[in-house]
Amino acid sequence: MWEIVVDKDKCSGDEECVNACPAQVFEMQGGKAEPVHSDECLGCETCVEVCPEGAITVTEI
């Protein structure tokens, strides 16, 4: 299992993670990325790499 945390103060809502995630983990909610399907996460850290704000952390739990 992977825990995905989006720092809402850093998220600029550019949807990079929404578009890059191979598991469709993210949805936009109120202009911010929300990891609504974190149970589908593969732990690939693509979202971490593509986020220009450094707003996402992925941790194995």
Answer for which of 6, 11, 33, 41 binds ligand SF4 (CB under 6 A) is 41
* 41 vs 55, beta carbon nearer ligand SF4: 41
* 28 vs 44, beta carbon nearer ligand SF4: 44
Q: How far apart are CA 3 and CA 43, in angstroms?
A: 9
Output the smallest distance, CB 50 to ligand SF4, in A: 8
Q: How far apart are CA 61 and CA 4, in angstroms?
A: 10
Residue 50 makes CB contacts below 8 A (sequence gap 6+) with: 16, 17, 20
Q: What is the DSSP letter of 5?
A: E
Residues that bind ligand SF4 (CB under 6 A): 2, 4, 20-23, 25, 41-47, 58
